Amino acid sequence: MIAKQARGNPWLHIWTQPRQTIRSLVDADPKFGFGILSAIYGLPMALNLAQNISLGAKIPTWAILIGALIICTFLGMIGFSIVTWLLYVTGRWIGGRGSYQTIRTAVTWSNMPNSITILMWIVLLAVFGGALFHKQFSETHFIGYEAGIVFIVFLIQLVVSIWGFVILLQGLSEVQEFSMWKALLNILIPCAIVIGVIWLWWAMFGTQTIH
């Protein structure tokens, strides 16, 4: 019912008509698709975490996948909440008119391209299996067809990331009533704050950790 009210199928239209789709979703039901999109966002996050901590060296691949499926929606919701809050607060500083709810709609639907990232994880799992969940995987020098697969996957993920950013930019512009440049500023301000906090933490505690 809601998908029809949102002028057709938002799952398809978000790819080619992001601004109109976000506006339609905001007018119909800003919460539509939140749970599914949280899972789509959280699953690659959980798999990346498993890779970064070399979880494959401790537990079997099937257990990692089941665990990722269990926690992905929760992780996605947390991630969306943090990003939305940062955009909402910093957007207010520069005159943003969007509510927390409408900004969250723009944030969640900008991650629809992440569904392609999940497909890329499936391809990598089919080729490399459990070796994918070792930290050293990203440092491995691949040759032959494996190198070709890794390169293609990287290229596709790069395109997906860029298109997701474009959707976020257009969606944020729509709900905040910003120009595209001001929407970009709304994104850059929290990024700068997060980078600054990380740098400050590293300056204060990072060297102590090393010693």
Q: Which residue has the higher pLDDT, 67 or 145?
A: 67
Q: Does position 210 have pLDDT exceeding 80, yes or no?
A: no
Q: Does position 209 have pLDDT exceeding 60, yes or no?
A: no
Long-range contacts of 43-47 (CB under 8 A, 24+ apart): 43/68, 43/69, 43/72, 43/76, 43/118, 43/121, 44/114, 44/117, 44/118, 44/121, 45/72, 45/75, 45/76, 45/79, 46/71, 46/72, 46/75, 47/121, 47/133
Mean per-residue pLDDT for 149-178? 95
Residue 176: pLDDT band (50, 70, 90) is very high
DSSP per position, 24-93: HHHHH-TTTTHHHHHHHHHHHHHHHHHHHTTGGGTS-HHHHHHHHHHHHHHHHHHHHHHHHHHHHHHHHH
- What percent of the chain shows pLDDT beyond 90? 78
How far is it, in rounded angstroms, from Cα 194 to Cα 176?
Answer: 21
Residue pair 168/110 in contact by the 8 Å Cβ criterion? yes
Residue 31: pLDDT band (50, 70, 90) is very high
pLDDT confidence of residue 5: 53
